[in-house]
Amino acid sequence: MTSSRRHHLKSLMLQIAANMLVAEAAEAEAEKANYMAENCPALSMPDSMQELQDLCKKLHQSIDKVDEERYDMESKVNKTDKEIDELKLKVVDLKGKFQKPVLKKVRMSADAMLQALLGSKHKVNMDLRANLKQVKKEVKEEEKEAVGDWRKSIEDKAGMGGRKKMFEADA
């Protein structure tokens, strides 16, 4: 991929993300308006002492209810915050423990490698030779460079994808 294409894709993704943020903000605003319309209808001022007392009682009940909901949500948030903190600690811990293994080049023929991986129940050799006939020229040309890299060698010999699929499914 060229760097200008990479750059283009990146700005496309940023543009899409920006649009999503705008849409999300509009949605939150609409949700808030809906909630307010449902839960906070316009106040009609009471005409008498009795109506005023009723209104006060109702308001008190609403306050209690809302406060209960607030408490429940706050405990949920606290619980989730705690989980987030624990997970962050785990991430730090795992990062400290992970060591990149040093990979060595393996000098091994593809046949030997496949047999070591798949076991003797697979007739790897014979099947591979059948495939080899179809790609003989190709393999010969690439033999030299393939020696040091058994993966390349296996991919070539697997040819046509069939052997390779079997190999991946069993691995």
Interface residues with ligand NAG (CB under 6 A)? 71, 74-75, 78
- Closest to ligand NAG by CB, 70 vs 123, is 70
Could you give the 3-state DSSP secondary structure of residue 84?
Answer: helix
Q: How far is the CB of 69 from ligand NAG (least distance, A)?
A: 12
Looking at the Cβ atoms of 61 and 78, the one nearer to ligand NAG is 78
Q: Give, in order, the Cα–Cα distances in Å from 120 to each of 57, 115, 124, 154.
A: 83, 6, 8, 17
Q: Minimum distance from CB of 62 to ligand NAG (Å)?
A: 20
User: Cβ 80 to ligand NAG, closest distance in Å?
Assistant: 11
CB atoms within 10 A of CB 78: 10
* CA angle at 28 for the pair 26 and 32, rounded to the nearest 5°: 115
Q: What are phi and psi of 99, to 5 degrees?
A: -120, 130
- Of 140, 107, 148, 114, give the one whose Cα is nearest residue 128: 114
Q: What is the smallest separation between the CB atom of 82 and ligand NAG, expressed in angstroms?
A: 9
Compare residues 76 and 90 and give the one whose CB is closer to ligand NAG. Answer: 76
- Contact predicate 163/128, CB 8 Å: yes
| Cβ nearer to ligand NAG, comparing 35 with 71 | 71
Residue whose C-beta lies closest to ligand NAG: 78
Comparing CB distances to ligand NAG, the nearer of 33 and 73 is: 73
Q: How far is the CB of 92 from ligand NAG (least distance, A)?
A: 21
Distances in Å between the Cα of 154 and the Cα atoms of 59, 126, 157 are: 76, 14, 5
